[in-house]
Structure 1
Amino acid sequence: MAHRPVAGGRARHDSSDRPRDVLPAPPRGVRGVRRPSGRGPRTDVRSRQPGASGVVNTSVISPEVRARVRGLAIPVALAFGRLGLTPNALTVLGFGIAVVAAVAAAQQAWVAAGLLVILGGVFDLFDGALARATNRVSRVGAFLDSVFDRAGESLLFLGIAIGCVAVGFVGGALLAAGAMAASFMVSYVRAKSESLGFTPGTGMANVGIAPREVRLVIATVGLVLAGAGGGVWQRDCGSLFCVGSDLGPGSPWLAGSLAIIAVLATITTLQRILYVVREPANKEHE
């Protein structure tokens, strides 16, 4: 077999006139040669995850935190499974808790509504955890989970709006409607982007500052503080937005939480839109 010539057209030879490699021998002989590891350059997995970094992808809940919480939910989910409950049954049960929370809000039972909201949010972890742990993951289950999540969140804001109107707090009802519309847009942008193939899997869930979990926590805080702070009501002051003694002590807490949800949900919607538009991998879909 012919040897590859070196620069200059001639091969180097040793004292016995045998061609030798042009590379110098390692200083410690054969032992100094490192064995190839078989692995390419290390890549930070987080850099490929939506929401890992950047202003557009900023998220309060990182992919690592999501994975950790899901891991903690598995033992509880398996306990429900041993009781005979299926993932879809847990989805329906979580939706039932959301309905009760909405009814409590409509009846101005603000503290109870807030506690039920956070209970339903925690309970929502178990259906997916049980499905993954028992290998029952299905597209139908994911569809039902998404639909019931959207319905439960919408009913909550509707219940808050009804409760506010019942005590004359029309401004709070308008803020609840705004929070519901903004939250709906967050979910719609994700669903539409995934249906078009822009963000396969659960990638879009990691994009945006205020996903559903964050919005539920803010709603819980607002509801509990509204009830514990003296109640929500508004006297007739000739305006939709009253201040001072015309408002119940808990009214600003509820109004503030709804306003924060509306603003953060709008920002999240814009973040997700920009993510789809700016992601280089999506250019091929144009």
Structure 2
Amino acid sequence: MNITALRPKFIKKLEPVAQFFAKTGITPNQLTVLSLVCGITCAALYANRFFILGSCALILSAVLDLVDGGVARINKKETNFGAVFDWIADKYVDTIVLLGIGISGIAILSRFALVPAEWGLPADFTIVCLAIIGSMMNTFIKPVVYAEIGYDGRKDGKISDPLEGIGFFGRPETLIILILGGLSGFIWVSVIIVAVCTNLSAIQRILYLYRTIP
């Protein structure tokens, strides 16, 4: 079970926001672009160590990401390209936000002398890279499964399958942890959590597929 499985409930809570945007005439793809722009803004703010402002930008990016699908349904503008573009934009946001933290040069492992001083920056950036890899692979598993087993079942414009609830740490958890870390001043803790949990979650999904796919 993960927060992704609760996505429909979050979308329902944001229905008034979707209704507002639907009335403005803005398209779902334009909202996706705005979500991406907010993600890029977050990365730039994180890179310059404005972690509180960066987290606010990341919150806005996440809200817009949840709302774009609602606007598409309300205005009956759901498209296959929109679903694909939304997924691609999400991965861009995840990657550049974590990269922004890496560029900031904050101490992670070296903060508590867990590695020799001369290894500090390379070791810390390695943790960021592991967080990026875990975030990407944890998601990449799903389209590979869809392609290999030919799964294309959809619900409300989204591919819906049993793998959706598998893996204890997905994109929503990653965003929440990064936001909390930025707002609290413990962004370095967030990176460690994301690096460890996303990769463990990916392994969990692989083991699930090993047991269930013939």
CA contact (8 A) 2:4 2:172 kept: no
Give the helix-richer structure, 1 or 2.
2
Higher relative CO (CA 8 A, sep ≥ 6), structure 1 or 2? 2
Partner of 1:184: 136
Partner of 1:107: 48
Partner of 2:187: 254
Partner of 1:151: 92
Q: Deviations over 1:185-244 (max 9, x none)?
A: 111111211222365423233221111011000011112222xxxxxxxxxxxxxxxxxx
Q: Which stretches of structure 1, 4 residues or more, deviate above 3 A after TM superposition?
A: none
Comparing 132-141 with 176-185, greater Cα deviation is found at 132-141
Partner of 2:182: 223
Of the candidates 1, 12, 18, which is equivalent to residue 77 of structure 1?
A: 18
Give the number of equivalent residue pairs: 195
Partner of 2:169: 210
Partner of 1:47: none
CA contact (8 A) 1:98 1:156 kept: yes
CA contact (8 A) 1:87 1:127 kept: yes
| Structure 1 residue 179: Cα displacement | 0.6
Identity %: 27
| Separation of aligned partners in 1, 2:147 and 2:19 | 31
- C-alpha RMSD over aligned residues: 2.0
Of the candidates 67, 74, 82, which is equivalent to residue 8 of structure 2?
A: 67
Greater CA radius of gyration, 1 or 2? Answer: 1
Q: Deviations over 1:20-74 (max 9, x none)?
A: xxxxxxxxxxxxxxxxxxxxxxxxxxxxxxxxxxxxxxx23263x3222121222
Q: Unaligned 5+ residue runs, structure 1?
A: 1-58, 227-252
- Counterparts of 1:226-245 in structure 2 under 5 Å? 226=185
| TM-score, structure 2 normalization | 0.83
1:215 aligned partner, one-letter code: T
CA contact (8 A) 1:198 1:276 kept: no
| Structure 1 residue 164: Cα displacement | 1.4
1:190 aligned partner, one-letter code: K
Partner of 1:116: 57
| TM-score, structure 1 normalization | 0.63
| Separation of aligned partners in 1, 2:26 and 2:83 | 16
| Separation of aligned partners in 2, 1:62 and 1:146 | 14
| Structure 1 residue 162: Cα displacement | 0.6
Partner of 1:175: 127
Partner of 1:125: 66
Partner of 1:98: 39
| Separation of aligned partners in 1, 2:4 and 2:85 | 25
| Structure 1 residue 165: Cα displacement | 6.1
Of the candidates 196, 200, 213, which is equivalent to residue 263 of structure 1?
A: 196
| Separation of aligned partners in 1, 2:36 and 2:192 | 24
| Structure 1 residue 148: Cα displacement | 0.6
3-state SS of the aligned residue for 1:129? Answer: helix
| Separation of aligned partners in 2, 1:137 and 1:122 | 18
1:79 aligned partner, one-letter code: F
Partner of 1:27: none
3-state SS of the aligned residue for 2:3? Answer: coil
Partner of 1:37: none
The answer to whether residue 151 in structure 2 is matched with residue 193 in structure 1 is: no
